[in-house]
Amino acid sequence: MSSALHNLSNSGDATVPDASNMCFAIVVSEWHSDITGALLKGAVNTLEEHGALPENIHVKKVPGAFELVYGARQMTLNDGYDAVIILGCVIRGETPHFDYICQGVTQGIAHLNATNNIPVVYGLLTTNDLQQAQDRAGGKYGNKGDECAVVAIKMAKF
């Protein structure tokens, strides 16, 4: 994914398959909606740029990051999706809450990928501060939503 050395949002990757016959679910957290909204916009725009029809991109919102696992699980139960994308943001605070939420979501999504036939793409920003989140939601490190959309298309064709 993106880093200071590699920004997939601007890669111009010609190896992205055509997504015109694909259907995607996106589960997005309402917490830090300024960040997750930017991630969602990036994901939807990228899916459409690669041929996905707007009517084949289904967005569901959940209250917070921890609920992304449940939302993704519900979407994997629908046979119509080629991939599910989760988008959220957790910013470190003063308590261990950050660690528990990040670990729980990561383990939950890993479990879904190991036990289902539909890829679930991990788009949870886990940052130390708001600036780091902004840098990854359309800022200097691109948009993680764009990257997740490319990963979803590629994994749907896997």
1: its two tokens: 């994914």
Active site residue 97: yes
Residues β-bridged to residue 127: 91
Handedness of CA 10, 105, 112, 24 (dihedral sign): negative
Catalytic annotation, pick one of 6, 50, 58, 97: 97
DSSP string for 65-98: STTHHHHHHHHHTSTT-SEEEEEEEEE--SSTHH
Using only C-alpha atoms, the chain has a radius of gyration, in whole angstroms, of 15
Return phi, psi of residue 30, to 5°.
-80, -20
| Residues tagged active-site | 97
